[in-house]
Structure 1
């Protein structure tokens, strides 16, 4: 049986690929189990992996939760497996890029929202269709979506169930960037390499600061930044010296 989530490491970048292309990468319990294992491993690999790229194989990122898997009622091997996996992915020490092409519906959107940076192809299609199936989000949509696009837009997306293009997603802040389909892979690679060129220490520290201060009052957040933050990393002197030689 082939892996449902593929992992490839190259020059500090770990690419995790949803691998059910014949089923439009519809999300199953087994897929989340494999993704959970990869995320657990990545938490311990901060010295060798500086960033994580999540994407889908074949025609799309993911069409969402596999409705046949839901109907089968397969018991979860651990409580709240999907929500825990997505939350763990979102809280990885390394920055996470989600690359969305074509379909990204409902559960897939909840998964995509774990990314620190979301990039979309022009032909991407984002939607939340929970209401179509008499479902409600259980994997983080109600919290991560409004934090990314604002309350008013999140209500629109969740209540109306409309589909939004990659261009529209970028316009509302759901995606950080939208690239033409013909340039998508090259642009995603270039973005990942641009990210990796920065200090991995700074990336981890900045991400931790943002997570730890989310929701704090301004004064508390400022105090956290000043008094609970290293401020400089082990590669600072090396980077400054390299700059001075230019």
Structure 2
């Protein structure tokens, strides 16, 4: 049985998230200030931001898309733990190698400049190159793509978080990308890493970032869960 930060996680198991509610404060230009309900804790892991953050330091919305009249917010839906790497640099290098081996290499043609909030730190995205994301196909094709943030050191290893989504390319406009799914991309990414790399699916954690009843915002088909992948070698 896998033990992650004091929580038993096996395939199909679920760990609960506890909301953290920092006090609401006025926004300061150039400073990210999580609002109440935007951060959760899971077990003994450091605080995890629920959303991918855009270049304006706001929760990211999926290319300005609207779904059923609501703005489409981009949730964190992947957690990765590397207990093998000896340093943050090694953990990043191992993650990049694993993504390539899984068929999710850095590819151009995507929006960029995103960040993720983890352990009180706002991390720039991986891959770092402008206009790049980890993707299983070129942007001219239907594809799963995402960005990963971190790591922070925990007693369980180096911790990353990520946001994955699936899009389809509109061949008529040759420029438009259309949202398809968060869950499809999350699950495919996890399965490919599990099958082709040293990362293994260890279970799921609840990040409480499903927006089902908000009158203005939605997270599409996201179920509030993040898949947990742990590096074994």
With normalisation by structure 2, the TM-score equals 0.24
Q: Which has the larger Rg?
A: 1
With normalisation by structure 1, the TM-score equals 0.23
Of Structure 1 and Structure 2, the greater strand share is in 2
Of Structure 1 and Structure 2, the greater helix share is in 1
Bigger relative CO (Cα 8 Å, ≥ 6 apart): 2
